[in-house]
Amino acid sequence: MKSTLTFFASSECGYDPVVDQCIHSLSASLAPFFNIKIVTCSDQLDSALTLFICSKDLPILSLIPYTCLPKLVICDPKVTSCLELRYLRITAAYIVSSFEQESAWSWTNIPCYILPMFTPTHIISSSSSTDIPLPPPTKPFAIYHGNRVHLENFFQNYRSSLRTLVQYINFALVYNFEILGRVRPETYKIDPSSFFHYQFSHSSLRKLSAAAAFGIVPTLLPSNSHFIPDIFNLRPLHFQHAFEFFDHIMRFKSSSNAGRCHLFASQNLPVVAEASPSISSIIHHRYSGFLFLNHNDLISATNAALQLTTNSKAIFSSRVLEAFQKQFLLTTEHLSRQFDTNSNPVDLIKTHVPRRQILLKYLCILLNRVYLRPNSYLYLSRAFHAKFFLALKPFFFSRSDPSYLP
């Protein structure tokens, strides 16, 4: 007899495959192995033994006494939220989008299952048509979709190679600029005329991906630094190196998601991406896409992507989609084993409860809110950071000191 798994859908009118994307994909994959029950409000949770719920929907659980809550499987847990810590004792598993996100939650010793997040292809292909203008046909164009912070870091880290690339290609940037604001390439002394901004929508992605030459997926962040260099804009004075001078130092978001590559592969577009761990598990360099870590890599990868024939693009894309499918099947198999009442898998870390680390995580969340994240955006906005530093300078330098003058 099949066990029953309960999934919470945030849409009050029922099941929304876009709003409840993670729940939609996961429940569909587990349907052959379990009976799937969808609930849309807290009143329907009484009979659930284990509840699959997205992190964004955790506030709804505050309406239920803690002792009455079922075991939780939290999808896309947020390291900047206290709710995940509040429900730590009743969490059975996490569904994460990448190895990076799994590593961020490994301290809990709660099982994590990797499921890259992306909008299902049929939703994009069935979206209504749009009359947005395409970039000029005088040059091929690359398409980007994702968060604004990746664009800011991309411009900052690769401004030198981008100044060369914009002479030969355009960039279509699809992101939520109505809320986050527009990225300004000119801040990084890059010609803005080769960048075309589009408000994120499925119809925009559909039209642009059908005409693009390749997809670009930047993922890395600037290397980490310390408090004093951050505040006083002295990052060049903080020298970092590894074992040898030319070793790589990589930094990336804990919520990195290789799912951004899926759209491009579904449209037979070659992928050019920065080599974070999650990206490298999907994109194999020069086998299913092209990876880059420095300026020369980016130019070389872009050139290789533009040289691919139509047949080669189809082969590369099929390999990417196959990698996603394998990851999906592996996650399904592991979840089925954990929640099958007839199996008793060995769990070596089940009895290890990280009591001492919970307070530390609360401290990290506080630091993230008052220093780390605000400072990251200050650093990305060079003009604002310069004004901030000049405003502080009178407190540390005499006005008679010539170095005080801007």
Report d(CA 41, CA 9) in Å as an integer: 8
Domain of 101 in residue numbering reads as 4-117+326-355
- For residue 293, give the CATH number of its domain: 3.40.50.2000
Which pLDDT does position 204 carry in this prediction? 92
Residue 178 shares a structural domain with residue 311: yes
The pLDDT value recorded for residue 133 is 92
Do 128 and 24 belong to one domain?
A: no
Same domain, 218 and 349: no
Burial tier of 193 (Cβ tally within 10 Å: 0-12, 13-18, 19+): exposed
CA distance 184 to 165: 17
- Residue 293 sits in the same domain as residue 274: yes
pLDDT at 59: 86
Do 297 and 391 share a structural domain? no
Distances (CA, A) of 38 to 2, 32, 42: 16, 15, 12
Q: What pLDDT does residue 401 have?
A: 39
Q: Looking at residue 31, what is its pLDDT?
A: 80
The reported pLDDT for the residue numbered 18 is 57
**Model-level pTM?**
0.78
Residues 63, 154 within the same domain: no
Render pLDDT for 20-36 as a digit per residue (tens, 0 to 9).
667 777 787 778 778 88
pLDDT at residue 341, rounded to an integer? 56
Domain boundary among 318, 339, 374: 318
What are the pLDDT digits (tens) for 134-150? 999 999 999 999 888 88
Per-residue pLDDT of the chain (406 residues; tens, 9 = 90+): 677 888 887 765 445 555 666 777 778 777 877 888 888 776 666 667 788 988 888 888 887 888 888 889 998 898 777 888 888 888 989 999 899 999 888 888 888 999 888 877 777 777 777 789 999 999 999 999 988 888 988 998 899 999 999 999 999 999 999 988 899 999 999 999 999 999 998 899 999 999 999 999 998 876 554 444 444 444 454 455 555 666 677 778 777 889 899 999 999 999 999 999 999 999 999 999 999 998 999 999 999 999 999 999 999 999 999 999 998 888 888 887 777 655 554 454 554 555 566 666 777 767 666 555 544 544 444 444 444 545 554 544 443 433 333 3
| 249 and 335 belong to one structural domain | no
Q: Which amino acid is at 232?
A: F
User: Under a CB-based contact definition with an 8 Å cutoff, are residues 291 and 297 in contact?
Assistant: yes
* Of the candidates 145, 129, 124, 378, the residue with the CA atom closest to the CA atom of residue 257: 145
Q: Where do runs of H (alpha helix) occur along 271-354?
A: 277-282, 295-307, 310-339
